[in-house]
Amino acid sequence: MEGLNEEEQAIVEMVRDFVNREVKPVAQELDHTNTYPEKLIEQMKQLGVFGLAIPEPWGEARVSTPCYALVTEELARGWMSLAGAMGGHTVVAKLILDYGTQEQKDTYLPRMATGELRATMALTEPGGGSDLQAMRTFASSAGDEYVINGSKTWITNARTAELIALLCKTDPAATPAHKGISILLVEKGPGFSLSRDLPKLGYKGVESCEIAFDDFRVPKSSLLGEREGQGFAQMMRGLEIGRIQVASRALGVGRAALEDALRYSQERESFGKPIWKHQSIGNYLADMATKLTAARQLVLYASRRFDAGERADMEAGMAKLFASETAMQIALDAIRIHGGYGYSTEFDVERYFRDAPLMIVGEGTNEIQRNVIARQLVSRGTVAP
């Protein structure tokens, strides 16, 4: 594993073994029954997966972003929902680490590192989609408290997470609008409600919910950092690691589909020979492997740039765009290779095909990623690395 030290390689291999031993045998049943993977989540806590982004003194096993991406790929190779269970958690950990007060770091990070405290982020609103500046969730000042009203949707882990990084407006009159946006670190209480679990095509087992705030009060100390109006910029940086994580999920789904297709093409015979020897099937396999390898290199490139402290929104956007589109194509081609069996729920390739679209629309749609990439190309004035 290029670029990883021995300890990081051991972590990736440990997660790979966990996936092969514990996840692969049960993923299909958990997915088809839409069952929350409580046992697997507990095992992930024991492995330290929820603390991979948290350094000492609060955590024990902070790893590089390339290592984090490869761990995410392994989890998604087993069942994409498991990678989703730790994605938003990691973004919140990075937000607190980079922007939180000392008290916020000391309060939340030790318990987040062990998975005792699970976190999620609340950005999207029912009528807003990717236009975060158009949000209508407001936090008005009332003495030493904020009073929050509004709603959010597509909140992963909303039932099981106890800490929410809430993106909201603290100054609705600010111009431009993003100057009035802040992040509040909130825990559930009076005025907070979960309205429903959203029915989904794939991404089963882990809940995605609508949440609402009705005169929900939190102390002023809930503000991430020291000053209001920083939340939009903070979250945009946080979403760089979020998009790398989503891209890594796509790698995992694509790899699982390719592995299944490669195995099936060697076992299945037609016209007297294994089907991989037929040129049409061999071409599919070659293209699938080539695109997956290219996607992984894009993800690792964005990861290295993120770790270097450089602006990585374009690189993360490219990685997320290309990896997600690649995973969708590989999942479809895996169905083609399986023929009629690919349409059967007895084979995992139908699950990959249902899971893959999430990465195309999640964490900012691919259309948004293209906008980000185009703006950055013009702004940077060069396509040189």
Catalytic: which of 207, 240, 315, 363?
363
* Backbone φ/ψ region at 19: left (φ over 0), alpha (ψ -120 to 50), beta: alpha
- The question of whether 363 is a catalytic residue gets the answer yes
Rounded distance, CA 262 to CA 272, Å?
A: 18
Distance CA(167)–CA(122), nearest Å, equals 6
The catalytic residue positions are 363
